[in-house]
Structure 1
Amino acid sequence: MPDHSFDFDHAPDRHNTGSLKWDDMGRMFNLSPQEAATAIPLWVADMDFPSPSAVRDAVARLADHGVFGYPADGSVCREAVSHWLATRHGWTVNPRHLLPLPTVVASLCLSVRLFTRPGDGVVIQTPIYPPFRAAVQDAGCRVLTNPLALTTDADGNPFYEMDFDALDTALADGGRGAKVLLLCSPHNPGGRVWTRAELTRVAELCLKHGTLMVSDEIHHDLLLPGHTHTVLASLSPEVAERTITAVSAAKAFNVPGAGLAHVVIEDDTLRRTFRAELTGLGIRHPNMFGLATTEAACRHGGPWLDALMAYIAGNAALVRDVLGQRLPAVRVMQPQGTYLSWVDFHPLGLAEADLLHRVRHEAGVVPSPGSSFGPEGEGWLRLNLGCPRALLRTALERMADVLGK
């Protein structure tokens, strides 16, 4: 098979491959078979690009061996992840402080269930990736929202900042003290890469109120040029002792189907509690394909990732250019990280239901609806930039043709 690792302008046809993004799109969004056959999916956050050749080679070696028994304890993979965190993010962690589990979402759910009781308050910063709210509600806890402040950047584009006064109030929870803060860093859907100063203030407030910090950093390798990620737990030993960090190769190297994430927990008591819960749930053996893909990505994926993010930056520029020319009223939030674009369609004066109907059924484009990220997202659409530029251009032009009438 030709190596398309660095050829982001072309991608395999994913129809009829068991792909959630492509093959379940029609069912999930009530498209007719004819609509689904030609629709362009810009919704769920996986990319259409093949993973790096080293990752695919690791899978091929496993497949060629042909025996898929129980894997070893994953220590080699943990060492690779720890090395990646040290070299890519300047965060030195003991590989023994990493615990494997299937997904980052599972780490959010387990953290809330383990370190709260029903009725406790958990803070989320909205608009936010939908599983954050679900993790709180499914545990029987109260959702304490700390809406991000929508402002504008130096160029007049929409921009999110944290409202620290409101965060202080939410964490206080009327004197009871919120038990957990679920932080999304970088932010999904807005693409903000939080600064060290912002994260330091978050940590100060959480320590003040005795709130455990659970930091979803699955997007932390997806940085657009000029931006640097700060790992929350790297701020100080005191912060590390009150932080659970969730990481995975799934987003950056396009391997969510391999089913592996890690939580990094430096505090012994928190880590023992979390490990005991994993054991009690029967989560003992990491997915061997997840171990292989993650290790290969961490050891050999850096150059591919750098090339990917340069390409994503070009796709982000394309969104600004096409929508700026064709639909100048809409407002595009410039992502600093992730491969997601968050676009405000409010100025078009359409109710969200009408907006979605036109985009899905008339334009043949399926983005993520803004309201799924909370009421603050209504009227926005999240666009997945992880696709060939020509396909993205077609999607944008289709949307502009319909919405510009």
Structure 2
Amino acid sequence: MSLRNPLSTLPSEINHDIFLRLEGRHLVTAQSVSKEWYSFVQDIKAFHIGQPRLLILSRVKDIHEAKRLKVRSIRLDLRTENTSQFTVEPQVCAITAHRFRNSIDADRDLCSCNGLVLLIFEKHIILWNPLVRRSTKVLELPRLHMLTWKELGGLCYDPSSNEYKVVLLLSCKSSTIRIGDQYVIVSGLKNKGWQKLSFPYEHHTTRAGVNFNNTLHWIVRDKIRSPSLRTVHVNKVLYYDPVDNTFKQLPTPTKNNLEEENHIYGTGIIEGCFCIGQWYQGRNVIQVSVMKEYGNPESWVTIFAIPILGFGRHFNIYNLTFFSLHKSKNLTIMCKDNGRLYVYDGEEDKLEQRFFHIPKDEDESRVRMCFYAQSFELPYGVSWRNRDRRQCRF
């Protein structure tokens, strides 16, 4: 009597889901069961889990297909490109095409943590894993004033409670609310309850940084009595502590005689270390320094000095992200504001812009990018239910 292969009686989608939930040691055992299982496990290993990649998100121009987004996952050496498609399903995310078309910042909040990408569509907050092509609605924004703007969004992981948290920076602009008021709201994906935190920094100068140590980092400037719209320099790095539910300041490298002229143009990750790019008054370079020991102000080491002129005259250099592979002399630089990508050769001291193909049916002005590490992470118990709306308030 021959035994039937258990995989042959199940749809491929279910088989795929089962294997994705297995630990590495169980995958090793599973691949020895049969040739079919071995082939399946090898396909999973081919995904290169943990490999850093660049995630590029774009929107289709056609108004009738406005709910369709396309994503490109590109290796940091820019040699290969895999294109897939992410569609917001109305029955899953409760988003109609009409609402989506009217959402001008639907793809603005693009950030990643543990291989999970956070997307915000009007009041709907979606968690998406591009590798396994799974998405689920996890939160709704609380009822906000009609002139409240979403400035920034972030995703982090709290190891003490084994829970992911969403962090949003909001700004109020109305005649009844003081102009420029801003605050932060935080919610876990399991408890669904929003908490309001004060944010004593200039919202119009706050920039999103990288996700490092499973938490978000922002670059900011202190509040001043008479803020000037012309002055947008930022000089501090904040990180959100998900355990204490507070924002803390990360020490940055300073020069004794130029401390007040220190302007931070971006953050990043180089060889597994947190890094920042700074500009000092009177210099024509962006100084890139890495923090060899996270949290230790004495561990900053400068490794690159990138000429500003290489970015071009009309280039906005206030929102850069840096990334480099282990022992690599090349530094990949991403500009979030205009979707441009650069590669700096440290040995040749040469900065070049790299181009990636955007089809004609996609809107080049709506391109969003973030660095991303592939994973099979699929958190349990976080999907949105209508009854969660009762507790999803301040």
Higher fraction of helix = 1
Bin for the TM-score computed over the shorter chain? under 0.3
What is the TM-score with the length of structure 1 in the denominator? 0.24
What is the TM-score with the length of structure 2 in the denominator? 0.24
Q: Of the two, which has the highest radius of gyration?
A: 2
Higher fraction of strand = 2
